[in-house]
Amino acid sequence: MTRPDVRTVRQDALADLADVPATSRWVRNGSVRLHLLDYGGSGVPLVIVPGITSPAITMDFVARTLVDVGRPVVVDVRGRGLSDSGDSYTLGDYAGDALAVLDLFDDPVLIGHSMGARIAAATAVRRPLRGTVLVDPPMSGPGRGPYPTTLEAFLGQLDEAVRGTDADEVARSWPRWPRREQELRARWLSSCDREAIVATHQGFETEDFFDVWPSVPAPTTLLYGADSPVVTADGAEEAAKANPGASLVEIPDAGHMVFWDNPSGSLALLRDALHPLTC
């Protein structure tokens, strides 16, 4: 029987890569080898950092819509997908990985969703960027209350994936998602490191997004779901006041998983945010 603390990459998951119009690339940050999906082209590099349990391939449907805008590159964050696990999973560790990826490209734009948005913010204060787009960053932290999705919920879904799950079971947790995205999650979630999820979830509550957000330089856009429990109306108001140079854009009919909840609306607004950065 497969132990729940062991990462597994299913054969049918690896086969998914044959249908992705991207090239696998690798970069090293110290001892950690990071896998990237590079969609190619000569446009502005658009480095995309996914969320806590989202290997790079699960953002394929986002990257595909941006190939006429720039050069999408999606990161398998440490402990996910084909990237190595790490010894620790602090926001600083993740930002260090992002810096190693960004060094491959000239004048990139950094895009992050959820955990990836927190990573993008922490990275943007450490090196010049063409711009950033932060999508529904967790605003929980010390004195701000818990992250709305419990650790037990994340680990329960991970245990299902390690045991062997399918799109129908994924749909019970994520009924609004397109079928292909439910299928990809079923095949790829077991590639996520249990320790990475535990440590990152703890970081959502011990590392404050607002420690870095006020220093994220313009141009930056914060996209958030109108129904998101992660970026509430009060959180959006605080974010606007803390970084008045940023643009805040609400995505209608979307919760925290904005691209999956409302693909057409969220991707259109993402393209709008990228337009001045890629012209």
* pLDDT reported for residue 85: 97
Beta bridge partners of 220: 132
- Position 171 scores a pLDDT of 96
Q: For strands 71-75 and 45-49, give the pairing.
A: parallel
For the segment 98-135, what is each residue's pLDDT rounded down to a tens digit?
999 999 999 999 999 999 999 999 999 999 999 999 99
The pLDDT value recorded for residue 3 is 57
For the chain, which domains are there?
21-145+210-278 (3.40.50.1820)
pTM over 0.95: yes
Is 191's pLDDT higher than 90? yes
- φ, ψ of residue 135 to 5 degrees: the values are -110, 110
Q: How far apart are CA 259 and CA 80, in angstroms?
A: 19
pLDDT at residue 1 greater than cutoff 80 = no
- Interhelix angle 115-124/91-102, nearest 10 degrees: 70
What is 36-71 written as a DSSP string? EEE---SS-EEEEE--TT--GGGGHHHHHTTTTTSE
Q: Is the predicted pLDDT of residue 28 greater than 50, yes or no? A: yes
**For the residues 67-96, what does the mean pLDDT come to?**
98
Q: Give the pLDDT band (50/70/90) at residue 96.
A: very high
DSSP-assigned letter for residue 18: G
pLDDT average, residue stretch 90-100: 98
